[in-house]
Structure formats: C-alpha cells, structure tokens
A and B are shown apart, each in its own frame.
Chain A
Amino acid sequence: MAENKETKSRRDKAREWLNGYLTSVFAGLSPQDLRDMFRGKPPGRPNPRYKPHTTSFWLHMKPRWYPKSVTRFSYTFALGWASAFLAVVLGISGILLMLPYTPSVDKAYFDILNIMSNVPFGKLMRDLHRLGAELMVAIVMVHMLRVYFTGSYKQPRSFNWTVGVILLLITWLFSYSGYLLPWDQLAYWAVTIGTSMADSVPVIGKNIQLLLLGAPAVGQPALLRFYALHVIILPLALIIFFGIHYYKVVRQKISPPPSVAAGLREDKERVPFLPDVLVREALWVILGLLFMLISVVTFFEAPLEMHADPNLTPLHSTAPWYFLWIQGLIKLPDIFGGLVEGKFIYGVVLPGLVFALLFALPYIDRNPSRLPQDRKLAIAIGIVAIILFGVLTWMGTPAYKAQASPQEEIALEFVPTDREGAIHELSWDELAEGTYDTETFVSGAMMYPKGLETFMVELREAIEKELPGGVGTLTITVWQKDLKRIDLDLRWTEGGEEHTFQQHTYIHRNMISD
C-alpha cells in the first residue's frame, strides 16, 4: 500500500509539472482554463483570460475585447487584418525566394527560370508571392476606401490616417521594386516607362533619375537599388510604420460604426479576444491560405516574358495595373505649350497632388460628423474619385491611344513572337502542317482540327473588322524534330495599293501542355 501511494504521487508530480509548464507557455492560462475557454464555459472570477494580454508579447498587441458592433464583418471586411496576413505570406515566400535569386542582370532571369523548374516548390513560392503582392495592393487600397467612407480618419484618428497613407506608399514601392527583379521584358520596360517621368522634373529631374536608377538608364545599378529597397529598406520602413499604425489602432480602438459614434445607438456588448476573436482569426488564416493555394494551383500564374532587351520595346508595354491611372494621365494632350513637358504635369505634379490631398484629408475635411447623411459631399467626392480612377486606368491600357497598325495588332493577337497568342491555344496535333487562307477556308465541316478551325474563323473575323477586303494565310511547317514554324501572311489593298505584312514564330512540342 505504501508503494501504491508513491507511484501515484510520481504520476501526479509529472502531471503537475506538465500543467505548470503549459501554463507558463500559455501566459498564465492553465490547460483546464484553455479547455474551458474553447468549450464555451464562461470565465471564472477573476477572469484569467485577460492576464495573457499583459504577460505575453504577442497578446499584448491585441485588445482584450472588442465592442460587438466593430466585429461585424460587413463593417470593416477585415481588410486591415487581411493586409497584415498578406504581409506575413509575402515575407515568408519572399525570404524563400531570396535564397535562389541573384540580383545581377546576367543571372536574375535564369535564377527565375531555375526557381520555376529546378527548385522544389519554387514555382509555388513565386506564384504565391506574386498573388500576394497583387492582392496586397488591391486590399490596401480598398481598406483606405473603407476608412474614407466610414469617416474613421477623423479625429482622434487623423494621425493614424496619415501613417496609413505612408503605408500605402510603402506598399506601392514594394510592389514596384519587386516588379523589376525578374529582369524580363515586362519588368524592364514597366520600370523604364515609370522612371522616365523622373527626368521631366525641371532643374533637378536628371539628378532624381540618377538617384532612382544609379545610372542614366535601367541596368545593373537599378536592379541592385530596387533589390535593396525590396528586401531591406522597405521591410524596415514597413516594420516601423506598421508598428505605429497598429499600435494606434489598438490604443485608440477600432473606430465604432458611425451610428454608434454619433450616439444614435448603443453598443454595450463586448466580444473577448480569447477565445472568440482568436478562433475567428485562426479560421481566416486557414481560409486565406486555402484561397491563395487553390488560386495558384488553378488559374493564377506569375507571368514571365522574354529576357529584358533594351533594344526591343514590346508592343503594348504597360505599367503594373495600380499605376495604369498614371499611364492614362500621361496620354492626355500636352497643352502646356512647351513651357513644361506634359509628362511632368501629368506624371509627376498631378500624382503628387493626389498624394498631398490624401495626406491632408483629415485636415481638409473639418466636418466632425461621421454619419453618411452629414457627409454627402465627401461621399460624392469619394465615388467620383473611384470612377475617375477607373476611367484613367482604362486609359492607361493599350486599348486607348496605344494601338499599333491594324496588321501589327492582328499579328500580335494571332501569331505573336514574344508572348502567348491565339496560335498557342492549339494542341500539337491540331497544328496540322499545311497552308490555310481565310478566303478559301471551309469551316463547320469537320475538315480541319477543331482548334485550327477556331483559329482561322477568328482570324477571318479579325481581318474583316480591321483590314476589310484583306486575306490572311497561315502556313504551318514541320521545321525540326518537335519544332513547327508558323507563318502569318496578311495581304490587303489600301488606297489602290497592295500591302503585305508577315510575321512568324516557332512552337516546340514541349511548350504545349497536353
């Protein structure tokens, strides 16, 4: 009997030790407290679930509780939370991408190719990183819109709004600096166009461009500079400004909905962080990861064009989508009579003005009320700004004032030399050797492989639309083992004269996934 007592006591001692250890790991919450918490038992008195917010590093950053009205998803759409989530995803995928990447103009492109075919999960990391970057820019901008429309930027949160605009700038710079790193045609020309606005600044323009690029044109110094920005300078700036931003959010509390802030309705109910909000955020983490992974496995792919070539400007070069509005602006007519370059006003002054307005918003808008009915002008301006952004963005695309000649556009769409086009949608067998022309091609008769038929019909329609009376001839030749040559000949009459245009490309069997 004496032995039983000792054995029991040893097991008890072990259990006691484990409980004590786990309690210290979980910042004062014992395993029993945790069990009770997740099983929905109300906390005892004193409430042990608030202690960790004082004793734990991670939890000291989170509020102990939220007012119920603030936790409604359709109030904030968790956009700020989503930005933080994406920042973590981008940071981790970014670090993993740093390992096989060299910021050298001779190596960068091939390191990307290597990442996609020779580094396990390299393509996954790259696609996640790119998807995260695109989502981040979009979500951060929508977050700004939400804060604008709920009037949350008004006192006492005006300082935090300003910090937020700085974070927006940091986000855009992150995305833009990362854009250059693959050193492909897309990267090279987007950055060349973007930075070309710098030297239009009077007096100091040339020096600003030298500071940005480290050289008169985009090259190795620019790549290194953008890399340094992307991996250390901007991350440090992000940590500082995000720290300030989130600190203010927790200290000043998330702004209550306007009706609550105006006293029109009461909100006394509290939702504790532990366990309610913690579990919900855990759910969002898993759902966010699932969404990103499913996207990357199904439809989303980080693009990679051909190696950067300073001598070859590709057709339809565009800035990244969040800068298309600036590209649209600089297409506006130059009405400044040579006093200053149109590029300077539209590309530097106006965007600068937009930023200045954003910064100064809480100090321009003196209306203390956050209720929509008291802010009709502000809301109208917001809606107009969104529409303007949309229109300018469309103007930045090649669809507006940046179309090449009709024959070049047709060739670009159907048989491009430097990107994927209609011809790349055919399977290897559908690329049947032979000559096909739009005049005599017979469709709808199962005479030709389906993909080829679709191609020729679409080509005929495009020629009818853009080069009326014209004829297009497609010739497919077996050029080498597993290599086919595709020739496109366009013939049309204009002003009584016969014109021709030719373009050709090659397709290798392994380029087409069956």
Chain B
Amino acid sequence: MNVARNLIVTTIAAILLMALLIAIFLGESARMHEAALAQKGESIARGAMLYDSYCAGCHGKRGEGLAGIYPPLNVENLWEGREDIAFYGSLHDFIALNISAGHPNQNMPSWADDYGGPLRDDQVEDLVQFVMNWQGPQPPGVRGEVVATPTPAPEATAEAPTGPVEPGDPERGGELFANTCASCHNTDAKGGALGPSLVRPDIAAQDDDFFRETIINGRPGTAMPPWGGTLSAQDIEDIIAWLRERQAEE
C-alpha cells in the first residue's frame, strides 16, 4: 500500500473539500433568501388553489365579489373606504382573522379548524398570502378589465389597426415585406435566423386571421414583435396577399 501516494491524494482532496465548504459557506446567505422567497411564492400558489375550492363561490373567480353582498377581494387597497372597521392590527392579521373566525352575521363562515372549519392554520395562511398578493398594482386583466386579445407584457400595447381595407395588393405587400419583415424572415419568406419560414405547408394552411393576429400582436416570449402600432390594416392585407402568392408557389 503506497502510504506516500495516499498521503498526497488525501491532502489534495482535503484542500478541495475545504474549498467546497468555503464556497457553500459564502453562498449560504443568498441561498436562504432565495429559498424564503420561493416558499412565499409556493404559499401564494397554494392559496390560489384553496381560493378556487373554498372562496371563489362567493367572492368570485377573479376576486370580484358580488356587489352589495360579497365584498371584492381583488381591490388595490382592502383598507380603503372601510372606516367602519375598527381593527388595530396589520392587514395580514385582519384577513387571517376574517378567514379563520368568519363573520357570523354576514354569511362569512369560519374556516379555521379551531373554529369548526375545514382548514388548517397553514392553509389559512396560504389564503391570506394569496389575498394580499392582490394588493397594489397588478398586470392588466387581473382585476377583470377587458383586454382585446391575450397580451401578457405591459410593453405589448398593440392597437388593432382600424379602417376600411381593400383586397391586398401583393406588389405593395412585397415592398412592405422587404422593408419590415425580411430582416428576420428572409426576402423570400423562407425563414432566417430569427423568423420561421412563412411558406411552410403547415403555416400556409393557417387562415388569414391567424396571420393578422400574429402580425398585430406579435408572439410573446419570442422575437416576433407586435406590428399593430406600426402597420396599418391595409399594410397588413397587402403583406398577407404577397405571402399567399409565395405560399402558392411552393
């Protein structure tokens, strides 16, 4: 048994071990912080599931409530306009108390198992976190505003271009395509680095509305931006007409 070799390898391995332990030590504070944030996020997600089962029936699927009967929960500030409530604790505790013990005279049952309800204290806490997540500014659509088409990010403020349109002119469409679209989709629309081929059979099989929708609103999460604010409705018809000619050639 080679003692000298073993001693050397042990020493090297021990140094590696120390280095690893130091790296773990240095990163631990940040990791704990991330973990705490993740746990809070999970609590909100669980609260959302519980809300669907237990609360949405009265307070509405999106927390909109029922006017005059069940208060809305999705408002920006639950305290606002509630001068009738004399509560000296935090909003968190107020919500937790309401959920746990209910409002006997106002049709709000008690939900915590301590008061005869079906929920454990941690489930009540998850619901509180979920309701509190409605406070403050929210992305569009959350409070039930009507949004034209599914637009996720606030920067996609694409307006649907309006106005009467003539049937598309392929020649004009070709020029528009060359100036606007070819940089990603290539001059022959057969696709480039950033944009797919627009003459492929499965894409060509889509109807005109598909193309209109994609050009106006873009494709969130990909490189396709919304063009609704830049191109007019006629521009879009012309481009589609040119594309249809190219697709027919395939």
Contacts and interface: CB of A to CB of B under 8 A. Distances in A.
Contact of B197 (A121, A293, A445): A445
B248 interface: no
Contacts, number: 161
Given A40-B4, A280-B1, A293-B17, A432 B152 contact: yes
B120 A433 contact: no
The SS class assigned to the A binding surface is mixed
Chain A's interface size range is: 35 or more
A478 B152 contact: yes
Contacts of B136: 481
Contacts of A485: 48
Contacts of A500: none
A481 B1 contact: no
A117 B35 contact: yes
A495 interface: no
Interface string A425-447: 00001101111000000101111
Interface residues of B, number: 65
Contacts of A237: none
Interface in A109-130: 109-110, 113, 116-118, 120-121, 123-124
B60 to A, nearest CB: 13
A351 interface: no
A434 B150 CA distance: 6
B248 to A, nearest CB: 19
A239 B45 CA distance: 45
Contacts of B120: 307
A510 B3 contact: no
Interface string B120-147: 1110000000100110111101100000
A447 B137 contact: no
A442 B202 contact: yes
Interface in B1-49: 1, 3-4, 6-7, 9-10, 13-14, 16-17, 20-21, 24, 28-29, 31-32, 34-42, 44-46, 48-49
B122 A118 contact: no
Contacts of B29: 120
A313 interface: no
Contacts of A510: 34, 37-38, 40-41
B195 interface: yes
Interface string A411-427: 00000010000000000
A444 to B, nearest CB: 8
A113 B120 CA distance: 16
A507 B45 contact: yes
B229 interface: no
A217 B224 CA distance: 57
Contacts of A434: 150, 152, 220
A204 interface: no
B13 A433 contact: no
B9 A271 contact: no
Contact of B3 (A40, A446, A507): A40
B232 interface: no
Nearest to A284: B10
Contact of B221 (A113, A429, A482, A507): A429
Given A40-B3, A445-B200, A511 B16 contact: no
B34 A513 contact: yes
Interface in B186-204: 191, 194-197, 200, 202-203
The 7 closest A-B pairs by CB, nearest first: A508-B41, A510-B41, A445-B196, A433-B152, A449-B221, A117-B35, A432-B221
Interface of A: 38-40, 71, 106, 109-110, 113, 116-118, 120-121, 123-124, 271, 275-277, 279-280, 282-283, 286-287, 289-290, 293-294, 297, 306-307, 417, 429-430, 432-435, 442, 444-449, 452, 477-483, 485, 504-511, 513
26 contacts: A71-B1, A116-B39, A117-B32, A117-B36, A117-B38, A120-B32, A121-B24, A275-B3, A276-B3, A277-B1, A286-B13, A289-B17, A290-B13, A293-B17, A445-B196, A447-B222, A448-B221, A448-B222, A449-B222, A452-B221, A480-B142, A508-B41, A510-B41, A511-B41, A511-B42, A511-B45
Given A117-B36, A445-B200, 15 more contacts: A109-B122, A280-B6, A289-B17, A290-B20, A293-B17, A297-B24, A417-B49, A430-B221, A442-B206, A452-B221, A479-B48, A480-B134, A483-B133, A506-B44, A508-B45
Interface of B: 1, 3-4, 6-7, 9-10, 13-14, 16-17, 20-21, 24, 28-29, 31-32, 34-42, 44-46, 48-49, 52, 62, 120-122, 130, 133-134, 136-139, 141-142, 150-152, 191, 194-197, 200, 202-203, 206, 214, 219-224
